[in-house]
Amino acid sequence: MECLFQRTRLTRSTQNAERKMHIAIVMDGNGRWAKQRFMPRVAGHRQGVEALRRCIRACARRDVQALTVFAFSSENWNRPLDEVSALIRLLGKALAREVPELNTNGVRLYFAGDRQPLPEHLRNELARAECATAANRRMVLTVCFNYGGRWDIVQAAARLAAQGQPITEAALSGALALAHVHDPDLLIRTGGELRISNFLLWQCAYSELYFSDKLWPDFDEAALDEALAAYRARERRFGRTTEQMQRSA
Ligand code: IPE
Ligand code: IPE
Ligand code: MG
């Protein structure tokens, strides 16, 4: 099922603060959150969905323009089958439940990732949810499911090659799964690990990185504000010098 709405690329604004910001999050630590409570890992994933709901609301309230979250990586197929099945079921359940609230909050939903291996009913639901929220303009939420940064670069390059197009930076950016949003300004990873785990490899070339020791289900509004405060204290130079930045301010 293809959505009839066009993918429209959001334009980047130089206005400061959270307005027009794109935040990407590696939501890590659900399993450890559950383990600390002697609960099954899937209970941690369920709490992870709750944390995501809160985070979406908090970001929309702060006028964040785009939020992109890593929900299931290409490598997560390596987990035990029952955990993989539970994660796929959770996505289906969350979709059925969350679309009305996304509409209330003006959130447009996209999925990024390889949909091919997902069950057909889920692929249809993903497309339906994208269509059902396509008119929303307040914030764009991209859920990366069965997503890998390497997969993304390869699928984009293969698409350009099949069309006989030259592979330039602009063309490749436009063929990636996140072509509808500008590159993330801030990449947050919860759960204490200091790695990217094959997330947005191309798009995070100049993102500010922020690592939190909090496990994802515990990442609340205050933690988000701490991350935003840390981001605001950074100087984004894009290869220039501090003196150049001060002159152009
Ligand atoms: C992140 O939490 C969610 C997914 C990868 C689906 P984890 O399940 O990786 O949690 P930890 O890292 O084991 O605590
Ligand atoms: C990254 O977390 C993927 C998601 C959050 C969906 P992982 O827990 O799978 O990452 P690694 O395997 O520890 O690097
Ligand atoms: Mg993990």
Q: Residue 114 gets which letter from DSSP?
A: -
Residue 15 has pLDDT above 50, yes or no: no
Which residue, 196, 199, 201, 223, is CA-closest to 212? 223
- Catalytic residue numbers? 28, 76
Is 122 part of a structural domain of the chain?
Answer: yes
Count of structural domains, the chain: 1
Q: What is the pLDDT of residue 17?
A: 60
**DSSP state at residue 209:** E
Q: Is residue 176 part of a domain?
A: no
Share of the chain above pLDDT 90, in %: 91
Tell me the DSSP string of 150-207.
Answer: HHHHHHHHHHHHHTT----HHHHHHHSTTTTSPPPSEEEE-SS----TTSSTTTTTTP
pLDDT tens, residue by residue, 37-59: 999 999 999 999 999 999 999 99
Ligand 2 mutation target, pool 26, 52, 151, most atoms within 8 A of CB: 26
In a domain, 242, yes or no: no
Give domain status of residue 126, yes or no.
yes
Q: Does residue 14 have a pLDDT over 50? A: no
Q: Is 143 in the pocket of ligand 2 (CB under 6 A)?
A: no
pTM score: 0.94
Asked whether residue 10 is assigned to any structural domain, the reply reads no
The closest-lying atom of ligand 2 relative to the alpha carbon of residue 70 is 6
Question: What range does the domain containing 47 cover?
Answer: 16-148+184-233
What share of the chain in percent tops pLDDT 70? 92
What does the DSSP 8-state code read for residue 218? G
Which of 106, 104, 99, 134 lies closest to 2, judged by CA?
A: 134
Query: Largest Cα–Cα distance in the chain?
Result: 57
Stretch 22-33: mean pLDDT, rounded? Answer: 98
Whether 95 is in a domain gets the answer yes
Sign of CA dihedral 166, 172, 173, 176: positive
CA of 30 relative to ligand 1 center, distance in Å: 5
Amino acid at 101: E
Which among 197, 214, 219 is the best mutation to test ligand 2's pocket, defined by most ligand atoms within 8 Å of the CB?
197
Nearest to 205, CA basis, from 183, 175, 190, 227: 183
Distance CA 180, CA 58 (A): 22
d(CA 189, CA 203): 15
CATH number for the domain that contains residue 192: 3.40.1180.10
